[in-house]
Structure 1
């Protein structure tokens, strides 16, 4: 299942920055504390950002799939509609 996949630590990211900025919350990229998914607004923003080619290009395809799956689950939890196209 995609959501159990490992996401590699990125050299261009400081994971403690995400935690400092958002607190101890759930992130779609839990390794690097990127793409917070703790509120409907964050879910929408995370989906928008991961679908930008330059952001997705920083990850392997399986990592993008994992991030998107986590965002989809959060969207369902918060009853947020996301555009799959």
Structure 2
């Protein structure tokens, strides 16, 4: 599994905004502080967002896999069912 792989810093994102908005929580994209996965609601939202083509297009395929793996793990932890389609 690629969960420890590096996600590159995105020029279009300010990681401090994610920290400011959500606090010190776990993010599926830890580099850019995107896709918080600390609550069931955030897990569902993160899964929905990363599965939108325009959001996924901002990452390479390996990075999308890392993000999805982290969301899947968080979903298990929070007992959230996500649609794998």
- Please say whether Structure 1 and Structure 2 have the same fold, judged by a TM-score greater than 0.5: yes
**Whole-angstrom distance in 2 between the partners of 1:82 and 1:66:** 16
Partner residue in 1 for 2:73? 73
Q: TM-score, normalised by structure 2?
A: 0.99
Partner residue in 2 for 1:13? 13
**Whole-angstrom distance in 2 between the partners of 1:2 and 1:76:** 17
**Whole-angstrom distance in 2 between the partners of 1:33 and 1:84:** 23
Q: Which runs of 5+ in 2 are unaligned?
A: none
User: RMSD of the TM alignment (CA)?
Assistant: 0.4
Partner residue in 2 for 1:56? 56
Q: Does 1:25 align with 2:25?
A: yes
Q: Which runs of 5+ in 1 are unaligned?
A: none
Displacement after TM superposition at 1:17 (Å): 0.2
Q: Which has the higher helix share?
A: 1
